Amino acid sequence: MDKLVIEGNNRLKGEVVVSGAKNAALPIMAATLLTDQPCVIKGVPSLRDTNTMLKILRSLGKDAEFDKGTVRIARGKDTGSFADYKLVSTMRASFCVLGPLLGKLKKAKVSLPGGCVIGVRPVDLHLKGLKALGAEISIEAGYVNASAPKLKGNSMYLGGVYGSSVLATDNVMMAATLARGKTIIESAACEPEVADLAEFLIKMGAKIKGHGTPTIEIEGVKELHGAEHQIIPDRIESGTWILASLITNGDIRIKNCCLSHLGALVDKLQEAGALLTKTDGTVRARLRTKLKPVNVSTLPYPGFPTDMQAQIMSLMTVTPGISVITEKIYPDRFMHVAELNRMGAHILREGPHAIVEGIKNLSGAPVMASDLRASACLVLAGLAAKGTTAISRIYHLERGYENIEQKMQGLGAKVWREKE
């Protein structure tokens, strides 16, 4: 097992290219289960998670090839309806094969999902939505068994305790494309990744309106056909590079960055002293003034993304003053706090709140990644810290950031891998 070693306190500068959005690519790859015809998906990042989804699709009977960012998926042998625990348990997003399997084959047996340890993330909204379409569902021995001889469109409310659910919206939307009649999803997730999935489904022949808003309407069709699609840029990777520039007082130009998908983050960073300028599709990130503390509360899109909570906390650890970061999506998503404190940060956890007192410098230290975004948070801290930081369990990082080591080196970071 490898660890990532960073010699910090170096100013990053140069150009970096953002990869396609993992959280758009995974459900779009799953959506190919809705058709027997070939599909081509471009801009897919080479990650542990996308490779896991390829394995799942192959296990379900698809021919799936991946070459230089392009995934080609064809029918292969007869499509199966059983998604095994050994694959699904490693990645929560793999649960989104449930909706398309149910829509196309009218039955599915899918393992309950796994993924990062960031708190309880139930699948009740997924099952609620699919039941509203007429599916009969039971949970036995860790598997969801779903069947529906005829799916029927229906109106439903998919809001949960902490707001809307991206994957539940994805699952229901995919199943509803082949249901009889109209489906209306209220309190649907509005994330750009959901809208990107809807655009792919529309290219396949689905009839969908309102994607990107809290109300999505789907008029079921008899069948879907193959399609070609370009994945949107990864907004979380984009935000991470912006913060890498700010935390090192750097000057990074970020290509393939869509600032319109990062409104809440941009607002907070400008308040903190960032200068973000866009020219010909490239965003330049640097400091306009000395850093100032900001208070952040995570919310469903278009609110501040929970997937950027850990990264902005890294920035606040070296920002003079007091900042308060509140996690309203996953209240237990603070595993990175103890690791940042090992690097000298002053952070006090109070329930869903983290109170951060900024200090002048972090100190390099051995730390351990607990989940995908926490690993990015520790990378940012390591880039800013004086001394050497060694991050263990970087397989988490490889789930969501394509070629991050090489990209950092291209910006002047002193970073390398070592065996544990």
Exposure string of 379-411, with b = 16+ CB inside 10 Å and e = fewer, is bbbbbbbebebbbbbbebbbbbbbbbbebbeeb
Specify whether the CB–CB gap between 310 and 116 falls below 8 A: no
CA nearest to 205, candidates 220, 188, 195? 220
Mapping DSSP to helix (H, G, I), strand (E, B) and coil, where does residue 267 land?
A: helix
The string of DSSP letters for 33-44 reads GG-SS-EEEES-
Calpha distance 58→74 (Å, rounded): 10
Out of 39, 96, 116, 190, the active site residue is: 116
Calpha distance 242→55 (Å, rounded): 33
Calpha distance 155→212 (Å, rounded): 18
- Number of neighbours of residue 124 by Cβ within 10 angstroms: 11
377 is annotated as an active-site residue: no
- Output the six-digit token pair for 57: 């699709």
Calpha distance 339→310 (Å, rounded): 11
DSSP 232: P
For the annotated catalytic residues, the residue numbers are 116
